[in-house]
């Protein structure tokens, strides 16, 4: 736990909050005699804390962005793919308490499980140290990282706006393949413009693959 706290840059006064954040429902169900609570309630709270801090940050740092752009940017920042990256950075999967079946089935790498755990940890920090402590961690692992990348964008919308400069343009996204085990599947998507491929991308979800394909298409069409 100390290593995880070091990575977070936060030391818990009440360590049981962190223990709770790392307890998956499968573990709690298999160990009912211990009276453990799963991290699902913390995940619910963490989702709201993350959304509020991100919305506040975008509102203050992008005074000229309209509501629609703010909404899309926030969605990209707090999406599952973004949280999975944070989980990998923290090596959060190795700290999770999982039921035997979930653990054997690759639960420590399952995107939905580790993303939910990130939200639960954020809620634990919020309850232990207040909104300021939670804000620092969100800033460090999500907001600052996206700034380094040049900001988060909804590439599908940006591509649509790019091709609509000429009338009669038709974009279609096609799933062309997938590989890997169920808990860590990677999808490949191709985006076509008027039936001709203009970009391809991969991702742990079809949405993420589509966004990466759209990004590749923008780069190709803009040159």
CA distance 221 to 178: 26
Q: Is 43 annotated as a binding residue?
A: yes
pTM above 0.85, yes or no: no
Other residues' Cβ atoms within 10 Å of the Cβ of residue 90: 20
Q: Is 91 labeled as ligand-binding?
A: no
pLDDT (tens digit per residue) in 44-100: 999 999 999 999 999 998 888 888 888 888 888 888 888 999 999 999 999 999 999
Q: Which residues are catalytic?
A: 47, 119
pLDDT digits (tens, 9 = 90+) for 173-190: 999 999 988 878 899 999
| Structural domains of the chain sorted by starting position, each given as residue range(s) with its CATH number in brackets | 2-148 (1.10.1520.10), 155-221 (3.30.160.20)
196 beta partners: 193
């Amino acid at each position: 736990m100390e290593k995880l706290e070091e990575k977070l840059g936060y030391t818990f006064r009440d360590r049981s909050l962190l223990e709770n954040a790392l307890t998956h429902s499968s573990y709690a169900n298999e160990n009912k005699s211990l009276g453990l609570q799963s991290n699902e309630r913390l995940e619910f709270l963490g989702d709201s804390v993350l959304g509020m801090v991100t919305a506040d940050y975008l509102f203050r740092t992008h005074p000229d962005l309209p509501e629609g752009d703010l909404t899309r940017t926030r969605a990209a920042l707090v999406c599952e793919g973004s949280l999975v990256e944070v989980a990998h950075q923290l090596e959060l999967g190795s700290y999770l308490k999982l039921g035997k079946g979930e653990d054997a089935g690759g639960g420590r790498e399952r995107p939905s499980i580790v993303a939910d755990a990130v939200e639960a940890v954020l809620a634990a920090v919020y309850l232990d140290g207040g909104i300021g402590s939670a804000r620092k961690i969100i800033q460090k692992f999500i907001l600052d990282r996206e700034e380094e990348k040049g900001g988060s964008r909804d590439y599908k919308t940006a591509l649509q706006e790019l091709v609509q400069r000429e009338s009669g343009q038709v974009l279609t996204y096609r799933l062309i393949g997938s590989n890997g085990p169920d808990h860590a599947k990677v999808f490949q998507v191709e985006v076509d413009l008027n039936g001709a491929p203009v970009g391809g991308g991969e991702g742990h979800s079809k949405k993420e693959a589509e966004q990466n394909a759209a990004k590749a298409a923008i780069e190709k069409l803009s040159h």
